[in-house]
Structure 1
Amino acid sequence: MQVENNKVSIAYAVFLLQLINWSTARCGFGPGEQDWDHVEVRKGAHLFYWLHYTTANVSSFEERPLVIWLQGGPGIASTGSGCFKQLGPIDIEGRPRDSNWVQHMNVLFIDSPVGTGFSYVESFGEYPQNNTQIALDLVTLMSDFLRSHPEFQRVPLHIFSESYGGKMAPEFALELHLAQQRGEVQCQLKSVVVGNPFTSPIDTILSYAPYLLQTGIVDHDGYTKIKQVTDELSRLISAGEMEKAIIQNTEFLNLIEKITSKIFIYNIQQRRHVDDALGYSTDPKMFDFMVNNVTTALNLTHMAKWRELNTLVFYNLRFDIFKPAVHIVTRLLDETPLRVGVYSGVLDFMCATPGTVNWINGMSWRGKQKYVDAIRQPFRSDGYLEGYEKQGGNFSMFWVLRAGHMVQQDNLAAMSHILREFTNYG
């Protein structure tokens, strides 16, 4: 009889907990229940998260995983580019996005590093100076989030990112795993997946000249000019002359614009008008949309204005931006049970696929031979070839066709395949 009473008490406590958790859900902007908040991760440094509970037809949102989305830059807002341009439930025209991730899983957009998007600092000195600080800030945010949303402590957790997120996400995943091992965080972290990552800047930079030559964007004369600049940029990075490297990189991008007649560096096959902005974080429509609609809906009008790109974030990380994070990926594979994935749109110049393949080939970890021995396989959707995959030793690589820097925007079928591979939507 006592056992039965205990069972009833536990069931009732779980029911009450679920009611309390659901009471945190609010109507934000767009369909479905949401929640959002700022977390002071260090004194004067505040990260912002925006949770979208899944709209999947399930009896409880806990039946679906939680995916964290981190944008690149560094300094580009997940709440803007990620949510409304790439994978959220609606776009900035208010139209439903059929390919949105929220229909399958819970999605947590985080504006990281501090100073990005809705995140903010109280003084200039609170901007992070390196990747490790970014990772620790994210762990602090997740510790707070999981305390205020304890239902997600039991839900499979996956970290997805793109571009500079290919440096941030692996170290965040490693630090979150270590915090979990120390008993400081309760979570079910399963994988970290990076898209068109800037994980090894030198490998990426050295791939530029041959990539443009082999795709027909430049001739041998252009190749020679670009190679001279990238070789010097690589030398500066190797010598630790990071400020000079930043200046050299700016000159390099100007050279690319001139030699290629303004090729769109995020997708070399995308048709762009000569007057179009060449970045993917410089859309004035996005700023107006966020300030005039989202800020009001989330009751953040009293805060500093949302920024799609904060150059001060980039400036404060200038000594760290070109440092590699391959050793962090190696530690994830050697020291944790996490699955690690890389996907790369083959039409991207900014983080070109050959550079990504080069750092993966040069990386050593205890399970590497299984990856080396694995056969690269095609993957299809409705009979159409979408790309190729190679998996082994807890590591996966996906080559995505008809896609550039933003795979989740360019090739929806391929992205859906990758999402299922890691999360199985459950």
Structure 2
Amino acid sequence: MARQMETRALALLCLALLRGVSAISGGTDDGAERWGYVQVRPKAHLFWWYYRSPQRVSSPGKPWPTVLWLQGGPGSSGVGLGNFLEVGPLDGSLKPRNSTWLQKADLIFVDNPVGTGYSYVEDDALLVTTDGEAAADLATLLRELVTKELPTLQSSPLFLVAESYGGKYAATLGVSLARAVRAGELKLTLGGVALGDSWISPEDFALSYGPLLLQVSRLDSNGADNASKKAQVIRQHIAARQFKLAQYALSSMLTSIVANSGHVDVYNFLLDTGMDPVAVPAMTLPPAYSAYLGSKAAKASVGDSIRDIMNGAIKQKLKIIPKDVVWEEQSYTVYNALINDFMKPRIQEVDELLSYGVDVTVYNGQVTDIQNVIIDLIVQYLIEVTS
């Protein structure tokens, strides 16, 4: 029976592809999970996965919320990392997670942008090159989900929750959705936007990184001065809108910091690189910089494990993943396609969301030094624009 069902699913997939339909989906018999592809542009396919909370209780006065999780990178898989290694119902060993966010909300994970994780393009020329293009694809996905796949989204407040570079996606997508709702083009309630260790102000990060590491004794004064000088170069490039040069300058600054700090772990300044056995990059660092990170043996085992699961048991469960799509936790093809947008700030988008009355929350880990240096600046900014 299982083999017959699998054969039928594959046949339906082939038939759908031959007919050029815009979406194909699957799910569990009880409706607790749904997943699928949406063709957001011709030959560009976004993969999504929805979980309905077993605690779901909704009333007119208090509708049950839905969280759309947006992973960073750019090019890191939300369906794999955010789902199984962070907030989904199962952990990286496919065992129930007691702390899952599913206890408080329905969850949607998406491999965004196209080319990430299970999402794919039939031509690399179709990869997004700007945050705005990524937001447009996500908006197309949500329109499909609201009208066809998940009509409960029409009455469930949607919260965009992001980490790292995903914060840029959340800000741009949030603005796109808010505009569409205000124009009457989309029946959806945007409950709020949450930005975790968000990369929405790269300039502030660059200027603050050296001083923070000096304060926690991971850099001496010479190392901090060197970092600050390189940060000024980044600032100049951003001011001149030379964003690709700013990204190269960022790589140079980070490489220098790692060398002068004894290889500080950018996700936990209490540790050195390779000491944390469960760390998975929240924001992918430039390849040129990553070469200087030292031993990754401890992290590699985690990456290999989730990679095996996603290309094995999970791919078999979902049944609709094309055979030639190989899941990776990080797509450098996607990363490089966004190279010209990587250092662009998204503060104005946050300002616009606040002007619409959309709640914006900023959260961060206390020892994640790669981005927590800008949190106080962002909070102060939010206070100023709302006062």
TM-score by length of 1: 0.74
Q: Which amino acid aligns with 1:321?
A: F
**2:265 touches 2:274 (CA, 8 Å); kept in 1?**
no
CA shift in 2, pair 1:97/1:175, >3 Å: same
Higher RCO (Cα < 8 Å, 6 or more apart): 2
Distance 2:375 2:237 in 1: 20
Matched with 1:379 is none
Does residue 257 (structure 1) correspond to residue 258 (structure 2)? The answer is yes
Does residue 292 (structure 1) correspond to residue 312 (structure 2)? The answer is yes
How do 1:377-416 and structure 2 match up within 5 A? Answer: none
* Residue 371 of structure 2, aligned match among 351, 364, 374: 351
How big is each residue's C-alpha offset from its partner over 1:1-31, in whole Å with a ceiling of 9 and x where there is no partner? xxxxxxxxxxxxxxxxxxxxxxx87339xx9
Q: Which amino acid aligns with 1:163?
A: S
Residue 247 (structure 1) shift: 2.2
CA shift in 2, pair 1:79/1:170, >3 Å: same
Distance 1:211 1:26 in 2: 47
CA shift in 2, pair 1:63/1:329, >3 Å: closer
Does residue 306 (structure 1) correspond to residue 319 (structure 2)? The answer is no
Matched with 1:3 is none
The range that moved more, 44-53 or 271-280, is 271-280
Matched with 1:55 is 54
Residue 141 (structure 1) shift: 0.4
CA shift in 2, pair 1:290/1:327, >3 Å: same
**1:92 touches 1:286 (CA, 8 Å); kept in 2?**
yes
How do 1:142-157 and structure 2 match up within 5 A? Answer: 142-148=142-148, 149-157=150-158
CA shift in 2, pair 1:247/1:57, >3 Å: closer
Q: Which amino acid aligns with 1:129?
A: T
Matched with 2:181 is 180
How do 1:127-166 and structure 2 match up within 5 A? Answer: 127-148=127-148, 149-166=150-167
Matched with 1:213 is 214
**1:262 touches 1:274 (CA, 8 Å); kept in 2?**
no
Q: Which amino acid aligns with 2:222?
A: D
Residue 162 (structure 1) shift: 0.6
**2:63 touches 2:157 (CA, 8 Å); kept in 1?**
no
Distance 2:323 2:201 in 1: 39
Number of matched pairs: 340
CA shift in 2, pair 1:243/1:57, >3 Å: closer
Matched with 1:109 is 109
Distance 2:273 2:265 in 1: 7
CA shift in 2, pair 1:279/1:257, >3 Å: farther
- Name the SS for the 1:269 alignment partner: strand
CA shift in 2, pair 1:87/1:363, >3 Å: closer
Q: Which amino acid aligns with 2:334?
A: V
**2:263 touches 2:272 (CA, 8 Å); kept in 1?**
no
CA shift in 2, pair 1:295/1:207, >3 Å: same
Distance 1:72 1:277 in 2: 17
Residue 360 (structure 1) shift: 3.9
What percent identity do the matched residue pairs reach? 31
Distance 1:275 1:268 in 2: 11
CA shift in 2, pair 1:32/1:212, >3 Å: farther
Residue 305 (structure 1) shift: 1.0
TM-score by length of 2: 0.82
**1:333 touches 1:365 (CA, 8 Å); kept in 2?**
no
Distance 2:31 2:255 in 1: 43
- Name the SS for the 1:35 alignment partner: strand
**Structure 2: gaps spanning 5 or more residues:** 1-24, 283-299
Does residue 338 (structure 1) correspond to residue 358 (structure 2)? The answer is yes
CA shift in 2, pair 1:208/1:25, >3 Å: same
Distance 2:274 2:170 in 1: 34
Matched with 2:119 is 119
Over 6 Å off, 4+ runs: 275-278
Distance 1:162 1:275 in 2: 19
- Name the SS for the 2:72 alignment partner: coil
How big is each residue's C-alpha offset from its partner over 1:163-206, in whole Å with a ceiling of 9 and x where there is no partner? 01111101101101111222322112111111111111101111
**1:211 touches 1:352 (CA, 8 Å); kept in 2?**
no
**2:263 touches 2:273 (CA, 8 Å); kept in 1?**
no
**Structure 1: gaps spanning 5 or more residues:** 1-23, 370-426
Distance 2:97 2:350 in 1: 32
